[in-house]
Amino acid sequence: MHFDTLIHNAVILTCNPGFEILRGGWVGVSGGKIQALGTGPESGRTPARECIDARGGIVMPGLVNTHTHLPMTLFRGLADDLPLKTWLENHIFPAERAVIAPASVHWGTLLACAEMALSGTTTCCDGYFFEDSVAEAVDAFGLRAVLGQGVIDHPAPGVPDPDRNLTAARDFCERWRNRTETLRPSVFCHSPYTCSRATLVGAKQLCEELGLLFQVHAAETRWESEHIRSTQGRSPIAHLDRIGVLDERTLLAHCVWVDADDIAVIAGRRASVSHNPESNMKLGSGVAPVARMLSAGIAVGIGTDGCASNNDLDLFPAMDTTAKLHKVANLDPTVLPAETVIRMATIDGARALGLDDAIGSLEPGKQADLIVVDTRKPHLTPIHHPASAVVYTAKGSDVRTVMVAGRILVRDRRVVTVDLEEVLQQVTVIGRALKNHESKHDKGLRGAAEVDPFERKP
């Protein structure tokens, strides 16, 4: 046997069922998969085409970001410190109408991929418009992803006629199904308040027919919870359950406003949840009862959400925030310990996306999606507990090497699959166009959203 790549001199966080940590460890990769891993001299006897010395650093599964809107990197910092409804109606939707097109989506997505890879994320679960352009960019970069064509009952970028939103989603899914090893198509319904019952049910049926993940924002804000209660007579989760769209292939983003009954429904249907703590905090949406959802056995992953509401795609601070937010919310420092949070960002996130057979832990036979964290840093010295170091002290910028399916995407902190300089330049130009649009908007268009996205079509 020989390895394509051997990574050695590492502390390996396997994230396997026993959460084994291998000190003085090595991982052998061939054919895009993990062939073997262990400690001691075995690695020295197996020839490898390339050896990577982790220099005592931490090797762990690549992180899984369960909720993104990749092209929204273009709107990073465009409008902050506003309520969700104002933020969406007066800033995000007009900005989308102004600049979102296949080319801007392409560059915004490449930027997002670079940011994710450079901070240790190897898989993301996305939902946006012009998702073909997202898919092409993610494929060019080399990350793994579940990519959802956005569905909403009002005119949207690329889908001006809402009556065609499900057709557009079907076309996207059929184009990308079985096209690459690393990308899976999906359908992303915006929410129960912007999608009618018929749209939600139609999108779920499409996913069932093609065997794909169905995604929807759900129970994000108090406004949504009250709105759905007043229009549907039940909570957002109970509404989604009643129309039959909750099962093990449903990913619910947010679930902030859920009660004990909602949690029992989500667990009973085996649906999964993306917890997006920084977005929920920044938009003042509330604190999702994550500890209770985990106790109920729900697969809960961690997401950053789009860059307009976070404002980055770095899962390291998202892990730190997750661990601390639930301790303060419960007034209990024992909830969500570091190990639990790492599981959420790796194997549980993979389970939430239905990818846990392939990724999320370092075990022989699994895809070689892994990262090397450089620990030769003041803030990472000494390391008494590797899991603690990862959650409470490491930063995305400590990630040195990133591999997806055995292919190196980041080497010594440099992106190797695309020309990052060109991506930065292109996004800067788009950013300027957006700034001009915003200043015009500020002079008189503010508040004049052309369509009220919160008004569902009958």
Q: Give me the least distance between CB of 92 and Zn ion, in Å please.
A: 11
Total residues in contact with Zn ion, by rule CB under 5 A: 1
Query: Which is nearer to Zn ion, 322 or 367 (by Cβ)?
Result: 322
Q: Nearest approach, Cβ of 8 to Zn ion (angstroms)?
A: 39
Q: How far is the CB of 277 from Zn ion (least distance, A)?
A: 13
Smallest gap from residue 306 Cβ to Zn ion (A): 6
Angle between helices 420-440 and 102-118 (to 10 degrees): 120
Nearer to Zn ion, 111 or 404 (CB): 111
Window 371-410: residues binding Zn ion (CB under 5 A):
none
**220 vs 369, which CB is nearer to Zn ion?**
220
Q: How many CB atoms lie within 10 A of CB 281?
A: 15
Beta pairing, strands 370-373 & 399-404: antiparallel
Name the residue nearer to Zn ion (CB basis): 115 or 305.
Answer: 305
Q: How far is the CB of 253 from Zn ion (least distance, A)?
A: 5
Site string for Zn ion, 6-35 (x = CB under 5 A): ------------------------------
User: Could you say which residues in the range 281-310 bind Zn ion, by CB under 5 A?
Assistant: 305
Closest distance between Zn ion and the C-beta of residue 36, in Å? 39
Burial of residue 247 (number of CB atoms within 10 Å: 0-12, 13-18, 19+) = middle
Q: How far apart are CA 311 and CA 80, in angstroms?
A: 9
C-beta of 186 vs 340, nearer to Zn ion: 186
Rounded Cα distance, 389 and 393, in Å: 5
Q: How far is the CB of 52 from Zn ion (least distance, A)?
A: 35
278 binds Zn ion (CB under 5 A): no
Task: Choose between 204 and 217: whose C-beta lies nearer to Zn ion.
Answer: 217
- Least distance (Å) between residue 83 CB and Zn ion: 16
> What residue is closest to Zn ion based on CB?
305
Q: Which helix (H) or strand (E) holds 183?
A: strand 183-189
Q: Which of 133/304 has CB closer to Zn ion?
A: 304
Residue 339 phi, psi (nearest 5): -60, -40
Q: Is the dihedral of CA 359, 362, 363, 365 positive or negative?
A: positive
One-letter amino acid at 339 equals E
- Residue in 218, 230, 159, 229 with CA at minimum distance from that of residue 190: 218
Among positions 173-202, residues that touch Zn ion (CB under 5 A) are: none
Is it true that the peptide bond before 333 is cis, omega within 30 degrees of 0?
Answer: no
- Residue placing its CB nearer to Zn ion in the complex, 68 or 340: 68
To Zn ion, the closest distance from the beta carbon of 29 in angstroms equals 33
Report CA-CA distances (Å) from 169 to 132, 175, 186, 215, 255. 10, 10, 8, 12, 24
Per DSSP, helices labelled H in 119-235 are 131-141, 165-176, 197-210, 222-232
Of 28 and 453, CB closest to Zn ion: 453
Chain length of the chain:
458
Cβ(364)–Cβ(37) below 8 Å = yes
Q: By CB under 5 A, name the binding residues for Zn ion.
A: 305
